[in-house]
Amino acid sequence: MTFPKIAVLTGAGVSKGSGIATYRDGADSLWNNYHPQDLATPEAFARDPKLVWEFYDWRRRMMAPAKPNAAHLTLAEMEAVLPDFTLVTQNIDGLHREAGNRNILYLHGDIWSVRCTECDYRAEDRRVPLPELPPTCPRCGALLRPDIVWFGEALDPATLYRAEQAFSQADIALVVGTSAVVYPAAFLPHYTREKGGRIIEFNMEKTPLSRYAAETLLGPAEETLPAWWEEFKKQLV
C-alpha cells in the first residue's frame, strides 16, 4: 500500500482548545489587546527591551500550564503512522513537542528558547517567571531576546526551505487553525496545490486560503481533525 505524503501547517487556532489566546480572532485575542508594533518587532525591542520581555514573560506564564489537546495528539499519531509526514508550525508554545511530535519545523521560533543579541549563545530556558528582566547572556553579558521571529525579521532560511520542500512534495496539505495572513507561512499550502495536491483546511471560519482548499472543515480543530483522521485511517488499511 502506498501512503500519501502529508504536510501540515498549524497556527494559533490549534492551541485555542488548550486555553492559549490566538492573535487575531475574537475579543480575547492578543492583537486585539496589544499592538504588535509595540511588542513584537525588533524596533520595539531596541526601544524598550524590558517592556517587551515583560510581555513575553507574561505570555510564558499563560502558556506554561497548557496541555496538548486532541488536535495536537492527532498530529503526533499521524507522525507515528505515516512514513512521509512533515509538521510545520507557526506556533511558539511548544505544545506539538509536548504532544509527542519529534520532527517539527518551527517557522516563528520557540518561546521556551532564548538567544543572545550579540554572540551565538542560544539555550532552552523554561523558568517561569524569569528571575531577571531583561535577561542577559551568561557568555558575553549582552541582552538576551526571545528566540522567536518578529514582524519584519527573516525566517530561518534552512527551516523555510525544508518546509517549502515538504509542501511541494505533499499529496495533501492540512492547514489547521491559521488565519493564513502572515507570510511567508501562508504561502506554503499553495506549493502543494501548484504540484497537483489538495489542501484541506480546519478552521472555525473561512480564511483567504479557503477558496484554494478542496475542503474547509468548519469547527474546532480539536474535534474536526481527530474525526477526519479516524475516517482517513480507514483508507490506509
Contact call for residue 114 and Zn ion (CB under 5 A): no
Q: Which is nearer to ligand BJW, 62 or 204 (CB)?
A: 204
Q: Residue 157, interface with ligand BJW (CB under 6 A)? A: no
- Count of all residues that appear for the chain in the document: 237
Give the integer Cα–Cα distance in Å for 54 and 86.
33
Contact between 17 and ligand BJW (CB under 6 A)? yes
Closest CB to ligand BJW among 5 and 25? 25
Residue 72 beta carbon to ligand BJW: minimum distance, rounded to whole angstroms: 11
Question: CA-CA distance, 107 to 91, in Å (whole number)?
Answer: 8
Cα(234)–Cα(2) distance, rounded to whole angstroms? 14
What sign has the CA pseudo-torsion 76, 78, 83, 89?
Answer: negative
Q: By CB under 6 A, tell whether 216 contacts ligand BJW.
A: no
Please name the residues in contact with 18: beta carbons below 8 A apart, sequence gap of 6 or more: 66, 67, 68, 69, 72, 93, 95
Q: Kindly state the DSSP code that residue 206 receives in the 8-state scheme.
A: -
Q: Is 108 a known active-site residue?
A: yes
Q: Which residue lies nearer to ligand BJW by CB, 88 or 221?
A: 221
Q: Which of 43, 118, 153, 230 binds ligand BJW (CB under 6 A)?
A: 153
122 binds Zn ion, rule: CB under 5 A:
no
d(CA 212, CA 209) in angstroms, rounded, equals 6
182, 210, 217, 226: residue in contact with ligand BJW (rule CB under 6 A) = 182
Q: How far apart are CA 4 and CA 85, in angstroms?
A: 9
- By the rule CB under 5 A, 140 interacts with Zn ion: yes
Shortest distance (Å) from residue 20 CB to ligand BJW: 10
Cα Rg, the chain, nearest whole Å: 18
Q: How far apart are CA 214 and CA 189, in angstroms?
A: 12
Q: Report the catalytic residues.
A: 108
What is the contact surface with ligand BJW in residues (CB under 6 A)?
A: 11-13, 16-17, 22-25, 29, 40, 90, 92, 108, 148-149, 151-154, 177-179, 181-183, 202-205, 207, 220-221
